Amino acid sequence: MSDIKKVIKDKKTDLNPIWIMRQAGRYLPEFRKIREKHTNFIRLCLNSDLSAEITLQPLKRFDLDAAIIFSDILILPYGLNQKVEFVKNVGPILGDLNFNQMSKFTANFFTERINPVYKAIELVQNNKLTENKSTIGFVGAPWTLLVYMLNKKSPKQGLKKNFFEDKVLITEMLKIIEKFLKIHIKNQINSGAEIIQIFDSWAGLLNNKDLDKYVYNPTFSLVEFTKTLDVPVICFPRGIKDYKKYCDIIQPDVICIDYEIDPVQIAKNIKIPVQGGMNPKILLTDKENLKKEAKRYLDIFKDHPYIFNLGHGVLPETNPTMMEYLVKMVKDY
Ligand code: 1CP
C-alpha cells in the first residue's frame, strides 16, 4: 500500500507523504519543451503517450508519493462537445453551450471522445515509477465546471452579469454535469486511478446561502458515488470559509485546505485526514524560509493524518530546485 493510502485508510500520523497540486506541467523545463511543440492544449491532453510522459516527469525528478494525471478539469465540457481553447496569457476560452445537444449525449459518446485520458492512466499505473505510489485521477466539482461552462472563461475578473439569470438552465446543467462527472470518475477508476480528487477551485465565489444548491448537494452526490466504488476521495473546496461544516456535510476521505485558512484551527476542529495548506508563493522565496514554512505545517499536523501538499497549484515561475528541496525536507522530517 502507498504511504498516502496508509494515511487515508489507517490514519497513520508517522508518515509524511507528499505530492503537489499541478506538479505535472507548468514549471518544469522538460514539460515546456513538449508544450512548445504542442500548441493545442486539449490535443496534448488527448495524446496518451505524451500525457503519461508528462505525468511521470515530476516523479523522475522528485521522490513524490503520487502521480496526478496530466489532463484538465475542462476535459469534461470538451467531452460534451463544448469548444475549449487555452489562449496564451489569457486562459481557457469556451464556446457557446448547446444545452439541447448536450442533454442527448450518451455515456459512450462522452467516453469515446476523451478515451485517450483513460489510456494515459493505464500507462501511468503500469509504469515502474508509480510502484508503491498512488495514481490520482481528478475532476472539477460541479459548481466549478458550471462556472467555466456558463461564464465561458475564467471568473478571475468575476462572473458575467446575468450568470444566475436562467435558473432552469442552471438546474438542468448541474444534473448533466453531475451525470457525466460520475461517468468520468468511474472510467478513471476502471483505468487504474486509485484516489480521486475533486477540485472546487471557485467554491469561494458563492454566498453561504447558495452553498447547498451549488456545492454541498452535488459534491456530496459525487463523493458518495466514488465511495461506492471503494476509492477514497480528496476534496479541495478552495476559498470556502467553513471547512468544518463542509467536512461534516460532504464527508470526504481527505480534506485539502487552501493557504488562506488557519491550519491550527483545522488541526483542532477537523478529525479526518488533511492535505495541503502551504502558500505556493513560499516556493518563490528562499530555502530557509521554505524550510521554516513547511516545518510549520508539519509541526501543526504532527499528530494528525496529514498529506503534505500546497494550498493551491505550484506556480509556473517556481524553480524546480526549490521543489526538490521541499520534497527532501518533508521526507527527512
Ligand atoms: O498553457 C499551458 O501550458 C497549460 C497550463 C495547464 C496545465 C499544465 C492548464 C490550463 N491545465 C493544466 C493541467 C492540469 N489542470 C492538471 C493536471 C496536472 C497536475 O495537476 O499536475 C490539473 C489537476 C488541473 C486542474 C485545473 N484546471 C483546475 C483546478 C485546480 C486549480 O488550479 O484551481 C482548474 C481551475 C483548471 C482550469 C485551467 N486549466 C488551465 C488553466 C490555466 C486553468 C485555470 C484558469 C483560470 O485561472 O481560471
The per-residue pLDDT for range 18-46, each reduced to its tens digit, is 999 999 988 999 999 999 999 999 999 99
| Best probe residue, ligand 1, of 20, 22, 27 (max atoms within 8 Å of C-beta) | 22
Average pLDDT (225-240) is 97
Mean pLDDT calculated for residue range 107-119 = 98
Cβ-contact 280, 310 below 8 angstroms: yes
Regarding the beta carbon of 310 and ligand 1, being less than 6 Å apart is answered no
Which residue among 40, 50, 64, 73 has the greatest number of ligand 1 atoms within 8 angstroms of its CB, and so is best to mutate?
73
> Does ligand 1 have an atom closer than 6 angstroms to the CB of 237?
no
Cα–ligand 1 centroid distance for 72 (angstroms): 6
The reported pLDDT for the residue numbered 230 is: 97
Give the Å distance between the CA of 84 and the centre of ligand 1: 13
pLDDT value, residue 26 = 86
Q: Of all protein residues, whose CA lies closest to atom 17 belonging to ligand 1?
A: 70
Cβ of 41 below 6 Å from ligand 1:
yes
Residue 237: per-residue pLDDT: 97
Q: Whose CA is nearest to atom 3 of ligand 1?
A: 26
What pLDDT sits at residue 305?
A: 98
Distance 148 CA to ligand 1 centre (A): 12
Q: Mean per-residue pLDDT for 240-260?
A: 97
pLDDT at 25: 87
pLDDT in tens, 62-97: 999 999 999 999 999 999 999 999 998 899 999 999
Q: Ligand 1 centroid to 262 CA: how many Å?
A: 25
Mean per-residue pLDDT over the chain, rounded: 97
Task: Write down the domain spans for the chain.
Answer: 3-332
Residue of minimum CA distance from atom 28 in ligand 1: 73
Rounded distance between C-alpha atoms, residue 184 and residue 188, angstroms: 6
Contact 153 CB / ligand 1 (< 6 Å): no
Fold of 3-332: TIM Barrel (3.20.20)
- Interatomic CA distance for residues 218 and 94, integer angstroms: 23
